Amino acid sequence: MTDEKTNKRTIRIGFQTSIITVFVAVVLLVGLTLVYLSFERVTSITRTAASGFIEKVAQLGADHVDEQFKNVRDNLDILSGIPSIQEADIADNSRLYSLMAAMLRNNPQLFNLYVGYEDGSFIEMDVIDRAKPAFRVGLKVEQDAAFRLVVISRTGGATPVTQYLSENLIQVAEVPGPTGYDPRQRPWYVEAFKNDKTLLTGPYVFYATGEPGYTLRTPLKEGRRGVVAGDVLLNRFEDMLAAQKLGQSGLAFLFNDAERIVGHPEMTRLMAEIPERQDDLPQIGALKLPELTPIIRSWREGAPAQQFFDDAAGRIYVAAVHQLDTTGSAVVRLALVAPLDEFYARIISERRTLFALALAFVGATLPFAFWLGSRMAEPLRKLVEETDAIQRFDIAERPRIHSAIAEIEELGRSVFTMRSVVSSFASFIPRPIVRQLIETGSSLRLGGSRRQVTVLFTDVADFTAKTELADPSQVMIYTSRYFAALSDEIMRHRGTVDKYIGDAVMALWNAPADDPDHTVNACRAILACLAANEALNKEFRREGWPSYDTRYGLHVGDAVIGNVGSSDRMNYTALGATVNLASRLEGLNKNYGTRVLVSAAVRARVGHAFLFRSVDSITPKGFAEPIAVSELRGELAQAGEAEIIMCQRWDEVFAAIAQDGAADTTLVRLSGFLHDYPKDAIAEFHAQRFRGAARNAGAAA
């Protein structure tokens, strides 16, 4: 029974969530039913509309391809009707060259125009830059050359010549040849007489460029026997078909009665994939859409030109087939294939619109449900955040939480009062103590325990002299700024500010919270306080206020930690010899002219991480054994080489002082050190002491 009750208690649903869930569940039941019905209906409409739409697109695509072919065919007809072409008057015929250049300029899909005759005569004009860059490189002609003109005239035994012409048909260069070219052996010439009703030949590799492409050709109707032709490079044809596709994944391609692909946006790749090609054409199966071939065959047998099929992944495609008129007896068709969910964007958009309308009922009510739930749950959520913040000891000022519900209003008042009490409580008791009380739920009580702590005492040098004549309110303001700067650094390094004593600060580490690195953190806190104190003093001087030069004493040892006082008024603090020694060390700074003095226990614990140098050996009141005192100079990793050398030299001098009782010898060592470091206060202190000892010894003698 206990386990069952525990499980029930751990399953909790928020107030706002409960309201919204019930409201939305009812709305979704009605809304999703409408969505399902609308989706099924729109799917049916989409298929019907897609069938008609792709037919129109296929017709437009076929018309566009036909138009491209027709433009070329018309130019070929014009060229074949020119008397100079009919009579094979092709040598030194500038008018003919101008006409051929104009036709090429007006038909960017053409790479060249040429005519071959029965006797082997031949004229060809190419647009050089319409082929790949390698074509121009292979020709080794200047950049001014725009056209290549090849003339092979068998009349009169003229030598074949190749001319390179500029854009304005000015001759740039001329080379002999080609001598081995015979147009009568090329596929376009041979096939033109085999079937003079077929416009298209190819794709095959062109003699001039070595690139694959198509030839549109027609036999000469009058005059000399021959063939007029023009080449469309495969890459141009690929671009033309790529422009006909639908959507991102749609495909437009040309095929013939042998189920061979005649034109494709990636024809180069398809032809390269044919093993032992031998100028063959890829089959429709190369498209990796096995369902497409049966559709094309069924269309030939009278099935609709528009059909749907699924690919291996289950994606629905729609296909349409349309014949090209300009190809004549070549019987070339255009096929369009596209995913139904992609190409027919308008229908899909309409379906989404209908879907959105069906969801509108749900969507329109959701804001109201969220608004109602939020309005009712917002005060509760804020109260939870407020109590969590208090538990984290985040007690910054916040406005009181109000609610129209009486119980929530009363709870808001109680939480507001609790935060005020905790905030006031934390102003008089160290924050770690208050945080510990909140986290543990325990109460304050008298008593303590013995534990090892690191204790720090600070004091401002000549504080009374600097502030006794100043305005008391100004003294409080500037001293509070000073305390804030030091306290921030102490707490940032996991220390607890125990109390403020006049202008002094007492701080603890490893109490009340455990800190295994308490001595390291205390040393770093002192160095951070020195930097913060220096920055604050610059502000004070700019504002006309005397600087606060702080001295520090640090010791680590056992102390009694806890609450002392009475049941009505308590104080969390540390008691014992450890605290007294830390206070004595702070006061000794005045004697040695130092800022930070630490005990031997501190140096022994953190000597691997910080730079120290020996100061003196003292026997404080209440201590039986002498205690070595050292000066904290900084973190060892950040200390400069000169600083480290100085400390090492001094420790050598100090060790000699401790062993050698002779005042004269000691003064010699100290004088040598002061010669190199003339402003060193510790060395000067010991020098004066030994000088006094020497004088006393002389007076006694």
Give 480-510 pLDDT, tens digit per residue: 999 999 999 999 999 988 888 889 999 999 9
Return the percentage of the chain with pLDDT > 70, whole number.
Answer: 72
Q: Pick from 561, 605, 360, 595: which is nearest to 459 by CA?
A: 595
- Helix (H, G, I), strand (E, B), or coil: what is residue 309? strand
Q: In percent, how much of the chain has pLDDT > 90?
A: 32
In tens, the pLDDT along 68-121 reads 778 888 899 999 999 999 999 998 899 999 999 999 999 888 899 999 999 999
Q: Where are the beta strands (DSSP E) in 340-486?
A: 447-460
Q: What's the whole-number mean pLDDT along residues 512-533?
A: 93
Give CA–CA dist 214/232, Å, rounded: 5
pLDDT at 271 over 50: yes
Range name among 115-129, 344-358, 631-645 with the lowest pLDDT average: 344-358
Q: Cβ(606)–Cβ(700) under 8 Å?
A: no
Category of 202 on φ-ψ map: left (φ > 0), alpha (ψ -120 to 50) or beta = left
Q: Are 20 and 370 in contact (CB under 8 A)?
A: yes
Strand, coil or helix: 426? helix
Q: Where, residue-wise, is CATH 3.30.450.20 in the chain?
A: 14-342
Instruction: For tokens 């409080």, name the residue.
Output: 476
Mean pLDDT of 131-141: 88
Region of 103 please: left (phi>0), alpha (psi -120 to 50) or beta: alpha
Helix (H, G, I), strand (E, B) or coil at 549: coil
Phi, psi of 216 (to 5 degrees): -105, 120
More confident residue, 599 or 312: 599
The dihedral through the CA atoms of 254, 260, 262, 264 has a sign that is positive
pLDDT at 667: 79
What pLDDT shows up at residue 57?
Answer: 75
CB 444 within 8 A of CB 566: no
If you average pLDDT over residues 276-296, what whole number do you get?
Answer: 78
> Averaged over 532-554, what is the pLDDT?
94
Q: Which of 82-86, 228-232, 354-358 has the lowest mean pLDDT?
A: 354-358
What DSSP line would sit under 50-67, residue for residue?
HHHHHHHHHHHHHHHHHH
- Closest to 50 in 3D by CA, of 265, 250, 284: 250
Q: What is the pLDDT of residue 4?
A: 47
The CATH number of the structural domain formed by 443-639 is 3.30.70.1230
DSSP label at residue 327: T
Q: How many CB atoms lie within 10 A of CB 45?
A: 13
Token pair recorded at residue 195 = 């079937």
Helix, strand, coil content of the chain in percent (nearest 5): 50, 20, 25
Q: Provide the whole-model pTM.
A: 0.45
The amino acid that residue 27 corresponds to is V
Quick one: tokens of 614? 């020996």
Angle at 449 (CA atoms; ends 447, 450), nearest 5 degrees: 145
616 touches 630 (CB < 8 A): no
Print the SS3 string covering 559-618: EEEEEEECCCCEEEEEECHHHHHHHHHHHHHHHHCCCEEEEHHHHHHHCCCEEEEEEEEE
The CA-CA-CA angle for residues 627, 630, 633, to 5°, reads 165
C-beta neighbour count of 308 within 10 angstroms: 15
Give start-end residues of each CATH 3.30.70.1230 domain in the chain: 443-639
Give the separation between CA 375 and CA 405, rounded to whole angstroms. 11
Task: Report the C-alpha gap between 54 and 305 in whole angstroms.
Answer: 10
Q: Tokens standing for 589?
A: 């700074």
Position 657 scores a pLDDT of: 81
Check: CB of residue 615 under 8 Å from CB of residue 650. no
Rounded distance between C-alpha atoms, residue 256 and residue 264, angstroms: 12
Q: If you average pLDDT over residues 273-277, what whole number do you get?
A: 70
* Nearest CA-CA partner of 19 in 372, 384, 403, 381: 372
Q: How confident is the model at residue 635 (pLDDT cuts 50, 70, 90)?
A: very high
Tell me the chain's radius of gyration from C-alpha atoms. 50
Amino acid 456: pLDDT: 96
The CATH homologous superfamily of the domain defined by 14-342: PAS domain (3.30.450.20)
Q: Mean of the pLDDT values across residues 354-367? A: 69
Half-sphere exposure of 251 (CA within 13 A, CB side): 20
Provide mean pLDDT across the span 383-396: 62
Assigned token pair, 431: 């924050």
Calculate the average pLDDT of the chain.
Answer: 80
